[in-house]
């Protein structure tokens, strides 16, 4: 069930009839001045931008209990322009919004609305450490809005401003897909070569890389580290994507004496049925991400050394060109938004939709000279050198087109990854984490290398629901490949 909340306060006004270009990103005009959520999903659209309901807790979602829809109250109240106060000792909630005042107590059906006591059918509840309120009372009594139901879709709006059951059916169907979107791995992990992924049941799939022997091994294990099983050995294995009973990934193939080629493969999660997904003779793929029933990948052209973005079905059919921007890399997906970097023609970071039907100007000028970017909840994060040999982690908000320094004064270019509301980053052999707003900077662990190694450091960082994994690198000589040790830690 999708819930669409429309409101007319506290957000900017727009005037175009169908869609606007918001600093390089298309925003459907019908999504503006709205909050859009889906029952059971932590994803949402706010004023047309894809977001999360509670970035620090993915278990916070709208829910249905005994046929009644309950909403996480703080997210909705604050996005409607109201204020909320929580008194934990008395389990009391005070809300002020649109010149109305509401006082409620957890577990109590009696509420006080504008100094008048009322009784509601479902009392406010504490779920996943968040306060939930009943939808109908909240919308109809406090906000004075209408509710429209359509095939599980719930639209709340001012009168005569609702979505149309006929005209907006295609849009509603797309919203349902967006808010139930399933990725084969996180964009942050794929950015780090995607050699760690966690399944819904906590099973960990990972690759142990041995560059000295040029041999990668794909394993699975329980979340506690038990029942380790070798699934596959090959020269190169990376970009693990978990889809149903399968693992999709990139693997070497062809005559390696002539050229190293990488193709899309899949294997059952028990290690059986290794299958090459596509059978093109001159196939090249260096980067891939599974989004629902599609595989997005860059197609490498060895003749002119360019990379173009394409997608195929999970069975390898229906190849479609998404974007012919040359030299693309580091793409990620959020809802219907697809972001990727390009070093060609000084167009460093570009947005399009999942069909490739729209493309805007670069979002971040000069980003090509910095580092691999990562988009997370509508903010682009990247490392930047300023002044020389001093490094910062920057967040560039695509909603406001404003830049914020998250961390500054780092001694070396940090490897980093993002999960929920924290950035995990490295400095030499030390691992840290910090909140996305730059607060609560924590030291996690310092790793060691062999006494006979001449140098070492942290390579890639992988983050899943339950684990943080770090590749610890060490070099025996200045000309040798790095020895890689993958270390898992509980979050």
Instruction: For residue 321, give every residue at least 6 positions away whose Cβ sits within 8 Å of its Cβ, in sequence order, or none.
Output: 308, 309, 310, 356
Position 323 scores a pLDDT of: 79
Longest dimension (CA), the chain: 81
Nearest to 86 by CA among 100, 69, 104: 104
Position 257 scores a pLDDT of: 52
Hey, which residues does 21 pair with through a beta bridge?
26
pLDDT digits (tens, 9 = 90+) for 247-295: 999 998 865 554 567 899 999 999 999 999 986 655 678 789 999 999 9
Q: Which helix (H) or strand (E) holds 111?
A: strand 110-113
pLDDT digits (tens, 9 = 90+) for 208-242: 999 888 899 999 999 999 999 999 999 999 999 99
Position 2 scores a pLDDT of: 45
Position 197 scores a pLDDT of: 98
> Rounded to 5 degrees, what are φ and ψ at 365?
-55, 140
> Rounded to 5 degrees, what are φ and ψ at 285?
-145, 135
| Residue ranges, the chain, pLDDT below 50 | 1-19, 21-22, 258, 367-369
Nearest to 248 by CA among 232, 230, 266, 234: 266
Hey, which residues does 427 pair with through a beta bridge?
430
């Amino acid at each position: 069930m999708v819930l669409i909340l429309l409101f007319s306060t506290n957000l900017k006004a727009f005037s175009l009839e169908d869609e606007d270009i918001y600093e390089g990103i298309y925003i459907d005009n019908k999504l503006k001045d709205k909050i859009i959520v889906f029952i059971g999903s932590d994803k949402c659209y706010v004023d047309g931008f894809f977001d999360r309901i509670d970035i620090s807790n993915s278990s916070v979602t709208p829910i249905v209990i005994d046929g009644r829809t309950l909403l996480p109250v703080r997210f909705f109240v604050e996005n409607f322009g109201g204020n909320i106060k929580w008194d934990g000792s008395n389990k009391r909630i005070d809300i002020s919004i649109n010149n109305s005042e509401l006082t409620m107590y957890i577990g109590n059906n009696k509420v006080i609305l504008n100094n008048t006591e009322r009784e509601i059918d479902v009392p406010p509840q504490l779920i996943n450490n968040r306060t939930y309120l009943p939808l109908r009372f909240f919308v109809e009594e406090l906000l004075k809005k209408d509710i429209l139901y359509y095939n599980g879709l719930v639209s709340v709006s001012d009168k005569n401003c609702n979505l149309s059951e006929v005209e907006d059916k295609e849009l509603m169907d797309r919203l349902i897909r967006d808010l139930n979107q399933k990725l084969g791995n996180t964009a942050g992990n794929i950015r780090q070569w995607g050699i760690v992924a966690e399944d819904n049941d906590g099973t960990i799939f990972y690759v142990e890389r041995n560059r000295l022997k040029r041999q990668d091994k794909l394993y699975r294990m329980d979340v506690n580290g038990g029942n380790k099983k070798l699934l596959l050995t090959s020269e190169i294995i990376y970009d693990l994507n978990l889809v149903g009973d399968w693992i999709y990934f990139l693997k070497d193939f062809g005559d390696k004496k002539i050229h190293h080629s990488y193709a899309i493969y899949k294997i059952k999660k028990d290690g059986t049925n290794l299958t090459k997904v596509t059978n093109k003779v001159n196939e090249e793929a260096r980067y891939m991400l599974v989004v629902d029933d599609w595989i997005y990948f860059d197609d490498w052209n060895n003749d002119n050394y360019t990379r173009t973005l394409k997608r195929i079905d999970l069975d390898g059919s229906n190849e479609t060109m998404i974007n012919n921007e040359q030299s693309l890399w580091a793409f990620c997906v959020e809802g219907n938004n697809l972001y990727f970097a390009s070093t060609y023609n000084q167009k460093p970071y570009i947005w399009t939709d999942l069909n490739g039907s729209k493309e805007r100007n670069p979002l971040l000028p000069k980003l090509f000279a910095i580092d691999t970017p990562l988009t997370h909840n509508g903010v682009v994060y990247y490392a930047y050198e300023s002044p020389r040999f001093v490094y910062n982690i920057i967040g560039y908000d695509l909603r406001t087109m404003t830049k914020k320094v998250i961390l500054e004064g780092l001694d070396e270019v940090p490897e980093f990854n993002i999960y929920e509301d924290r950035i995990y980053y490295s400095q030499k052999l030390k691992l840290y984490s910090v909140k996305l707003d730059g607060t609560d900077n924590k030291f996690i662990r310092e790793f060691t290398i062999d006494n006979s190694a001449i140098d070492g450091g942290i390579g890639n960082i992988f983050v899943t629901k339950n684990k943080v994994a770090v590749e610890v690198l060490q070099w025996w000589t200045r000309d040798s490949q790095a020895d890689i040790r993958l270390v898992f830690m509980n979050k």
